């Protein structure tokens, strides 16, 4: 049953090292793209200029007709912020900056799409915000031109200050004009009344008779009625002033006709209507922040305000009419009281009436004079609630500098993360087997050997070094391609002290221990598919066994793509196929060390390392049309029996198991099968299928030899420190940098990570 392989930190580090190419490539691509696009998509520099204005709340000093001349309930800092960016203020700014024709009226501008577009563009460039909880408002303007940004912010602050000053003092000017007009009218009436009293008194000689004795009750009642009538007349005069002033303001289209107008109590209904009006003004100001004055929602609020103002106008008119009725009633009651008192001389009563008219007119005149003095004081003050605290300065640095460094870092990090994701995804999709545990669990047989990968460059350096040492340091030049290829295939002979040779000797030793009960051994070397290095493993395994002193016969049983004749530099024919066909006896086709000396390798190379005199080779011979039939023939069985008796070890290099049936037929006839597996090149399903086919023919699978092992593919290679172990004590000078320094570096980093993680886990376990 297959076991589950649990990944640890070392395994994850191995995946990173193994897939480092895709990680580095992804990182470099994302880094390059982010850097490139950050350069070509640099934003247009924008500059921001800020002017600060301060709002100061002024209280009424003289109790003007305007009850409170500063902020009312809805005139807050937030309202002023909305006013600053309102359409009317921006329109005036556009005029002053020359963006629209100053001679055009507001109606003409609103009918001009180009002018409206200019105003809306300016509105989008400005903003206003409160500074903390203070009464300071920062007015900002953003533009691609630093000079225009400064001009726009400064002009907006100045226009707002001037417009605020005009709005606050225009009520004073209008109130002054109204009171002056009323003073002239009431003054004429007072003077006329005074002349009438004086004339009547002179004509009727009533200078002292008006205080003549009369009925005390009558006089008291008459005095009370006169007091009530005077109070009613004063109230009526106030109501008349309010009513006519309201009519005038409504006719002029004043947006706030009640502002500072009402100074007396009118009625509970008026107070309720006034409260509703204040709420509508607040909503109106809030909508103007986001919409134009002609927006449907703004128009709806305007209609509601107009309706409330009509109701207020009607209520004040009703109060005026009610006051007139009350005065009329009091006048009638006074007349009735006078009529009932027949004894009083008629001239005295007329004189009293004239005096009362003068008194009433005089009281009204004095009240208007008092209001007029208050107006003069307010006009002298010239209320300025807005002052420019900090003027706008020309900005020198843009507010949106290109963040190229940030984009580069982001691209680097994103590329690294995507590289890690791709690496993990590729590792997940990679169904090849790379660990000893996975292979042994899958096949149920041991891994007998690790054959490290040897590249052409590594082989050249290794072999050139060996030749230099043999020649006493003399440089004989570069190896030819054929020499290098043969040396790589026969590394156990050409470089017996190398790491690779030691790996083959380890494989040989493990095979010997696994077959210790066999006096003579017939071993078939094969693989699941082509290009897994079975022929090289078979050749070097034969050489290493021969170097141990055993009589070894290497038979090239791959009758489709034979390789051993090229490896040892001898002729392919005659060989195994000729023996099976009966053309030769097997002893006639055996190649010995003598044949190798006269072959392509040469005497010098053969004599370099002892042991080849114990090695015999039978090449494949001519390529037959029916290799399967030859392997399955009685002649082959007879040949197999004879060579089994004649040699200590017989090694068969045969074709891959999954490609032909030759290997399966031969597997059923030999003692054991050694399966060569190229790490990372064959999926696990192919290896499993190979094992199944061998089981079907009752082959005895001795074990597996991992070929082409290196730290990028096999986690066990790094974990077991094979490279360091195999190189131990084989001619390396003290202090010399070991081969594969980068691989060692990656391994050491993985070891450090694993050790640190282990310490962290132990620490947490100890705390628990």
- How do residues 360-419 score in pLDDT, each as one tens digit? 888 888 888 888 887 777 766 665 778 888 998 999 888 877 777 777 788 888 888 888
In whole angstroms, give the CA distance from residue 556 to residue 563. 8
Give residue 345's pLDDT.
61
What are the φ/ψ torsions at residue 643 (nearest 5 degrees)?
A: -70, -30
Q: What is the DSSP letter of 450?
A: E
| The CA-based dihedral angle spanning residues 745, 748, 749, 752, taken in that order and rounded to the nearest 10 degrees | -160
Distances (CA, A) of 8 to 5, 243, 416, 582: 10, 91, 21, 59
In whole angstroms, give the CA distance from residue 615 to residue 646. 12
SS3 564: helix
Distances (CA, A) of 24 to 16, 127, 213, 520, 685: 10, 47, 123, 53, 30
Q: Token pair for residue 704?
A: 């597996």
In whole angstroms, give the CA distance from residue 66 to residue 441. 98
In whole angstroms, give the CA distance from residue 569 to residue 600. 5
In whole angstroms, give the CA distance from residue 170 to residue 66. 11
In whole angstroms, give the CA distance from residue 690 to residue 686. 6
Give residue 431's pLDDT.
56
Q: Token pair for residue 70?
A: 């500063």
Distances (CA, A) of 265 to 238, 249, 323, 521, 532: 10, 20, 13, 126, 108
The answer to whether 32 and 343 are in contact (CB under 8 A) is no
Write out the E strands in 440-529. 447-452, 521-527
pTM higher than 0.75 for the full model? no
In whole angstroms, give the CA distance from residue 146 to residue 396. 7
In whole angstroms, give the CA distance from residue 4 to residue 2. 7
Q: Are strands 552-556 and 649-653 parallel, antiparallel or unpaired?
A: parallel
In whole angstroms, give the CA distance from residue 143 to residue 399. 10
In whole angstroms, give the CA distance from residue 332 to residue 663. 141
Q: Strands of 701-709's sheet, edge to edge? A: 447-452, 701-709, 672-678, 521-527, 649-653, 552-556, 615-618
The answer to whether 338 and 349 are in contact (CB under 8 A) is yes
In whole angstroms, give the CA distance from residue 25 to residue 21. 6
Specify the residue for token string 């070097």. 540
Give residue 715's pLDDT.
46
Residues 6+ apart with CB under 8 A from 72: 259, 278
Write out the E strands in 499-561. 521-527, 552-556
Q: Are strands 136-143 and 126-130 parallel, antiparallel or unpaired?
A: antiparallel
Write out the E strands in 475-550. 521-527
Give residue 738's pLDDT.
43
In whole angstroms, give the CA distance from residue 71 to residue 385. 10
The beta-carbon contacts of 198-205 under 8 Å, at least 24 apart in sequence, are: 200/350, 200/351, 200/354, 201/351, 204/347, 204/351
Specify the residue for token string 């990680």. 23
Give residue 745's pLDDT.
54
Q: Token pair for residue 191?
A: 């003077």
In whole angstroms, give the CA distance from residue 393 to residue 152. 11
Closest CA to 347 of 201, 219, 193, 225: 201
In whole angstroms, give the CA distance from residue 504 to residue 520. 20
Evaluated on CA atoms 409, 412, 418, 424, the torsion sign reads negative
Closest CA to 750 of 4, 13, 1, 76: 13
Q: What is the DSSP letter of 624?
A: -
Give residue 408's pLDDT.
78
Q: Token pair for residue 431?
A: 């169904």
Q: Token pair for residue 19?
A: 């897939």
Give residue 73's pLDDT.
37
User: Average pLDDT for consecutive 10-residue bins of the chain (768 residues)?
Assistant: 54 69 83 79 85 74 40 62 88 89 85 89 91 89 91 91 78 78 86 83 55 55 81 83 81 75 80 82 79 81 84 84 85 77 62 81 85 76 76 87 77 83 72 66 83 70 61 55 75 82 90 89 91 90 91 92 90 91 91 87 80 90 89 92 93 91 91 88 80 90 83 45 42 42 55 57 51
Give residue 280's pLDDT.
82
């Amino acid at each position: 049953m297959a076991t589950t392989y649990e990944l640890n930190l070392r395994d994850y580090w191995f995946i990173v090292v193994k897939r480092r190419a895709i990680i580095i490539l992804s990182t470099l691509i994302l880094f390059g793209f982010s850097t490139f696009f950050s350069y070509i998509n640099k934003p247009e520099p924008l500059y921001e200029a800020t002017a600060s204005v301060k709002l100061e709340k002024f209280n009424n000093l003289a109790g003007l007709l305007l009850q409170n001349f500063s902020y009312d309930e809805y005139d807050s800092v937030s309202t002023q912020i909305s006013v600053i960016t309102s359409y009317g203020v921006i329109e005036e700014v556009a005029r002053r900056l020359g963006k629209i024709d100053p001679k055009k009226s507001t109606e003409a501008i609103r009918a001009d799409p180009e002018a409206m577009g200019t105003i809306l563009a300016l509105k989008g460039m400005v903003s206003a915000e409160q500074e903390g909880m203070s009464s300071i408002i920062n007015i900002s303007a953003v533009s691609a031109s630093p000079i225009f940004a400064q001009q726009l912010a400064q002009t907006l602050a100045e226009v707002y200050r001037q417009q605020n000053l005009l709005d606050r003092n225009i009520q004073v000017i209008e109130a002054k004009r109204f009171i002056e007009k009323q003073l002239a009218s009431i003054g004429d009436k007072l003077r006329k009344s005074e002349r009438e009293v004086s004339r009547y008194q002179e004509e009727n000689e009533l200078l002292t008779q008006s205080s003549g004795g009369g009925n005390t009750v009558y006089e008291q009642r008459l005095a009370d009625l006169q007091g009530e009538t005077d109070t009613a007349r004063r109230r009526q005069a106030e109501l008349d002033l309010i009513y006519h002033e309201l009519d005038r303001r409504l006719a002029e289209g004043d947006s706030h006709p009640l502002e500072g107008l009402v100074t007396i109590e009118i009625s509970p209904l008026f107070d309720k209507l006034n409260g509703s009006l204040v709420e509508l003004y607040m909503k109106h100001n809030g909508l103007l922040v986001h919409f134009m004055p002609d927006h449907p929602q703004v128009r709806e609020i305007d209609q509601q305000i107009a309706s409330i103002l009509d109701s207020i106008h009607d209520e004040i008119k009703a109060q005026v009419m009610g006051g007139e009725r009350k005065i009329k009633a009091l006048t009638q009651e006074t007349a009735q009281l006078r009529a009932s008192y027949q004894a009083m001389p008629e001239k005295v009563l007329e004189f009293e009436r004239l005096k009362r008219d003068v008194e009433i007119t005089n009281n009204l005149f004095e009240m208007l004079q008092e209001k007029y003095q208050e107006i003069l004081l307010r006009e002298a003050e010239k209320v300025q609630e807005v002052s420019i605290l900090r003027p706008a300065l020309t900005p020198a640095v843009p507010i949106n500098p290109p963040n190229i460094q940030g984009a580069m870092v982001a691209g680097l990090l994103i590329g690294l993360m995507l590289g890690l994701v791709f690496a993990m995804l590729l590792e997940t999709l990679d169904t090849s087997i790379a660990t000893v545990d996975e292979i042994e669990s899958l096949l149920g047989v041991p891994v007998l050997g690790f054959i490290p990968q040897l590249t052409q460059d590594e082989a050249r350096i290794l072999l050139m070094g060996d030749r230099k040492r043999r020649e006493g340091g003399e440089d004989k030049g570069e190896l030819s391609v054929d020499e290098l290829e043969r040396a790589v295939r026969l590394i156990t002979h050409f470089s017996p002290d190398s790491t690779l040779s030691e790996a083959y000797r380890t494989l040989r030793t493990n095979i010997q221990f696994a077959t210790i009960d066999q006096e003579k051994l017939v071993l078939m070397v094969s693989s699941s598919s082509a290009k897994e290095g079975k022929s090289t493993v078979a050749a070097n395994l034969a050489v290493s066994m021969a170097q141990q002193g055993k009589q070894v016969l290497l038979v090239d049983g791959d009758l489709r793509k034979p390789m051993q004749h090229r490896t040892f530099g001898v002729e392919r024919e005659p060989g195994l196929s000729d023996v099976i066909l009966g053309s030769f006896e097997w002893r006639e086709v055996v190649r010995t060390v003598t044949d190798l000396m006269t072959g392509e390798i040469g005497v010098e190379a053969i004599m370099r390392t002892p042991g080849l005199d114990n090695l015999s080779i039978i090449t494949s011979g001519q390529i037959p049309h029916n290799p399967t039939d030859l392997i399955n023939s009685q002649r082959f069985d007879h040949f197999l029996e004879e060579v089994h008796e004649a040699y200590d070890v017989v090694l068969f290099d045969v074709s891959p198991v999954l490609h032909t049936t030759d290997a399966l037929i031969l597997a059923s006839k030999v003692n054991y099968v050694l399966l060569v597996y190229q790490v990372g090149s064959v999926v696990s399903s192919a290896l499993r299928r190979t094992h199944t086919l061998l089981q079907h023919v009752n082959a005895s699978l001795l074990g597996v030899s991992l070929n082409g092992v290196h730290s990028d593919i096999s986690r066990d290679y790094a974990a077991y420190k094979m490279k360091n172990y195999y190189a131990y004590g084989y001619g390396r000078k003290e202090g010399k940098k070991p081969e594969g320094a980068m691989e060692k570096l990656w391994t050491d980093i993985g070891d450090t990570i694993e050790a640190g993680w282990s310490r962290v886990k132990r620490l947490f376990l100890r705390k628990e």
